[in-house]
């Protein structure tokens, strides 16, 4: 049972345009959601997060939206830059115990000049 | 500031050989520690986590084990490696002190089993 799903394995966007990455989850007990960025042969780097009491969180070019009723979150990157090309993972956790993260499969984002 | 170190960066091992991967965290105390594995083309799967010295919880049945001999040291081991143990292994730490805090990852170990 995959509790966190990223249905798009890849996404190609032109430089300067908006990149929208999507993520769906099934566990209604999740109350913390995160996006990580990963380059090859490196560990994931934390990008932005949102708690379940909010529906939007913004940090510079990055905005995360949470729709609890639809169990859906998205990451918007505006404007997209070549350095944004990477694999993006969404993750979710409850706040109980060890706060274990459940990850999606990842979306490879390619920004074209 | 906090840092997390993993070594080695890459490892090639024959089937049936033992394994020891080490992870240490600096700049924080009493963290939660985690081992993840990323198989080729897949997401990250949690293997083990630890909330304190000597406290290990396993998430999936497997050929691996973990230990936490010191507060900021986390070790992933195997007595006999299988081909299916190949993958990219990541250590991470998280804070217990505050809610809504992300986990932070090391740079990983690429393990290839021949």
Identify the sign of the CA torsion B87, B93, B96, B97. Answer: negative
Picking from B106, B55, B94, the residue whose alpha carbon sits closest to that of residue A95 is B94
Beta bridge partners of B52: B55
Write down the pLDDT at residue B43.
85
For the cut 90, the answer to whether the pLDDT of residue A2 exceeds it is no
Write down the pLDDT at residue B74.
97
Write down the pLDDT at residue A56.
98
Write down the pLDDT at residue A29.
93
Using a CB-CB distance cutoff of 8 angstroms, which residues of chain B are in contact with residue A104? 43
B105 dihedral zone (left: phi>0; alpha: psi -120 to 50; beta): beta
A–B interface: beta-carbon pairs under 8 A? 61
The pLDDT of B45-71, averaged and rounded, is: 93
For the cut 90, the answer to whether the pLDDT of residue A23 exceeds it is yes
User: How many structural domains comprise chain B?
Assistant: 1
> DSSP for B74-86?
EEEEESS--GGG-
For the cut 80, the answer to whether the pLDDT of residue B61 exceeds it is no
CATH architecture of A4-112: Sandwich (2.60)
Distance, in angstroms, between B102 CA and closest chain A CA?
Answer: 7
Measure the CA–CA gap between B45 and A111, rounded to whole angstroms: 27
Using a CB-CB distance cutoff of 8 angstroms, which residues of chain A are in contact with residue B94? 98-99
The pLDDT of A2-11, averaged and rounded, is: 94
CATH assignment at residue B98: 2.60.40.10
Distance, in angstroms, between A59 CA and closest chain B CA?
Answer: 15
Using a CB-CB distance cutoff of 8 angstroms, which residues of chain B are in contact with residue A43? 6, 90, 92, 105-108
The pLDDT of B57-79, averaged and rounded, is: 94
Where are chain A's structural domains? 4-112
Long-range (24+ apart) CB contacts under 8 A made by B56-60 are: B57/A98, B59/A100
pLDDT tier at A71, thresholds 50, 70, 90: very high
Write down the pLDDT at residue A84.
97
B19 dihedral zone (left: phi>0; alpha: psi -120 to 50; beta): beta
Write down the pLDDT at residue B71.
96
Write down the pLDDT at residue B100.
86
> Average pLDDT of chain B?
93
Question: In the numeric block, which tokens belong to residue A87?
Answer: 């694999």
The reply to whether residue B43 touches residue A105, judged by beta carbons under 8 angstroms, is: yes
Nearest CA in chain A to B110: A41
User: Which residue among A42, A98, A100 places its CB closest to the CB of B108?
Assistant: A42
The reply to whether residue B32 touches residue A99, judged by beta carbons under 8 angstroms, is: yes
pLDDT tier at B12, thresholds 50, 70, 90: very high
For the cut 80, the answer to whether the pLDDT of residue A1 exceeds it is no
Domain of B109, in residue numbers:
3-113
The reply to whether residue B99 touches residue A42, judged by beta carbons under 8 angstroms, is: no
Q: What is the pLDDT of residues A34-67, one digit of tens each?
A: 999 999 889 999 999 999 999 999 999 999 999 9
For the cut 80, the answer to whether the pLDDT of residue B41 exceeds it is no
The pLDDT of A9-37, averaged and rounded, is: 97
């Amino acid at each position: 049972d995959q509790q966190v799903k990223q249905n798009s394995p890849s996404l190609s966007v032109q430089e300067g345009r908006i990149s929208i990455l999507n993520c769906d989850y099934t566990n209604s007990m999740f109350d913390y959601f995160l996006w990580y960025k990963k380059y090859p042969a490196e560990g994931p780097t934390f990008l932005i997060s949102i708690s379940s009491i909010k529906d939007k969180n913004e940090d510079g070019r990055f905005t995360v939206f949470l729709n609890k009723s639809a169990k859906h979150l998205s990451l918007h990157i505006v404007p997209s830059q070549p350095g944004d090309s990477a694999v993006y993972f969404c993750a979710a956790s409850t706040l109980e115990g060890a706060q274990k993260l459940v990850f999606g499969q990842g979306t490879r984002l390619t920004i074209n000049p | 500031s906090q840092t997390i170190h993993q070594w080695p960066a890459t490892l090639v091992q024959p089937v049936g050989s033992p394994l020891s991967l080490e992870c240490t965290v600096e700049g924080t105390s009493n963290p939660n520690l985690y081992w993840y594995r990323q198989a080729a083309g897949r997401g990250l799967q949690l293997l083990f986590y630890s909330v304190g010295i000597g406290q290990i919880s396993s998430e999936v049945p497997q050929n691996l084990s973990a230990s936490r001999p010191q507060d900021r040291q986390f070790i992933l081991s195997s007595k006999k490696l299988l081909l299916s143990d190949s993958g990219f292994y990541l250590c991470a730490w998280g804070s217990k002190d505050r809610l809504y805090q992300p986990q932070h990852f090391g740079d990983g170990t690429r393990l290839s089993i021949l």
